[in-house]
């Protein structure tokens, strides 16, 4: 994956499949996909740059991203720098942006991992071009994923506990995002079903988990309801 590596490959419709790395099921082939490109201006570089993200899929559950920063030199693209992120919960790439002349990378925080796939927190690092390479600007910033509501307005026992607990906050945000995604591509009829089921679930969830419980019991109640809804929302 180094820029000078040989041989080169071509992506067709944004994807390259390794022909010799497929199992019996052709859906699980090692492959390389084009994910995104961001354009912008970086301090210390005269021409605009493109930050390209490719993802390498092993054919199993593991995958990681490659970030290439390119500029134009005599009308041809030139790679200034590149890096490989971690896989999924272990510093998998969340977001890449160009802001205030810096390259900004947001990756999953492995210390907040939720199994192998996900993390309840992020690590944000800003990089600046030093003339020959990128150098980190200041210290990385660790953040917990926020819940789906404003914690400054938390009023119920459920909301207060979610705001105190990183894992519950992560689950609440995931559930809310799944609800939005389920509605996004659904038919009008299906949307009504999803909204009705969500309202019924939320009423039961609020009534049960806001009852007079110990903090440990409330934690288990919230965890169970959110986890169950993350599964049932797609049915």
Alpha carbon distance 194, 233 (integer Å): 7
- Residue 183, pLDDT score: 92
- Residue 185, pLDDT score: 79
For the cut 70, the answer to whether the pLDDT of residue 23 exceeds it is: no
Confidence of residue 26 (pLDDT cuts 50, 70, 90): low
- Residue 166, pLDDT score: 86
Out of 4-8, 47-51, 143-147, pick the least confident. Answer: 4-8
- Residue 66, pLDDT score: 94
Q: Taking residues 132-146, what's their average pLDDT?
A: 92
Every domain of the chain and the residues it spans: 15-144, 151-232
Q: Taking residues 154-181, what's their average pLDDT?
A: 93
State the pTM of this model.
Answer: 0.76
Q: What is the pLDDT of residues 45-66, one digit of tens each?
A: 988 999 999 999 988 888 999 9
Q: What is the pLDDT of residues 195-227, one digit of tens each?
A: 999 999 999 999 999 999 999 999 999 999 999
- Residue 118, pLDDT score: 85
Confidence of residue 123 (pLDDT cuts 50, 70, 90): very high
Confidence of residue 5 (pLDDT cuts 50, 70, 90): low
- Residue 229, pLDDT score: 93
Confidence of residue 155 (pLDDT cuts 50, 70, 90): very high
Confidence of residue 4 (pLDDT cuts 50, 70, 90): low
Confidence of residue 3 (pLDDT cuts 50, 70, 90): low
């Amino acid at each position: 994956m180094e820029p000078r590596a040989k041989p080169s490959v071509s992506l067709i419709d944004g994807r390259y499949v390794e022909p010799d790395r497929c199992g019996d099921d052709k859906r699980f082939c090692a492959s390389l996909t084009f994910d995104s490109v961001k354009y912008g201006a970086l301090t210390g570089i005269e021409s605009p740059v493109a930050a390209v993200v490719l993802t390498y899929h092993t054919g199993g559950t593991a995958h990681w991203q490659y970030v290439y920063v390119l500029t134009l030199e005599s009308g041809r693209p030139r790679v200034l720098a590149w890096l490989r992120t971690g896989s999924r919960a272990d510093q998998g790439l969340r977001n890449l942006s160009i802001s205030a002349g810096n390259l900004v990378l947001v990756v999953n925080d492995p210390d907040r991992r939720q199994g192998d796939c996900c993390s309840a927190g992020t690590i944000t690092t800003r990089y600046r071009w030093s003339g020959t390479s990128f150098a980190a600007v200041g210290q990385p910033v660790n953040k917990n994923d926020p819940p789906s509501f404003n914690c400054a307005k938390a009023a119920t026992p459920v909301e207060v506990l979610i705001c105190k607990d990183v894992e519950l906050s992560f689950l609440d945000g995931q559930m809310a995002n799944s609800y939005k995604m389920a509605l996004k591509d659904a038919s009008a009829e299906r949307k009504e079903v999803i909204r009705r089921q969500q309202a019924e679930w939320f009423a039961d969830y609020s009534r049960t988990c806001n009852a007079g419980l110990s903090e440990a019991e409330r934690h288990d109640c919230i965890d169970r309801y959110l986890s169950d809804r993350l599964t049932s929302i797609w049915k």
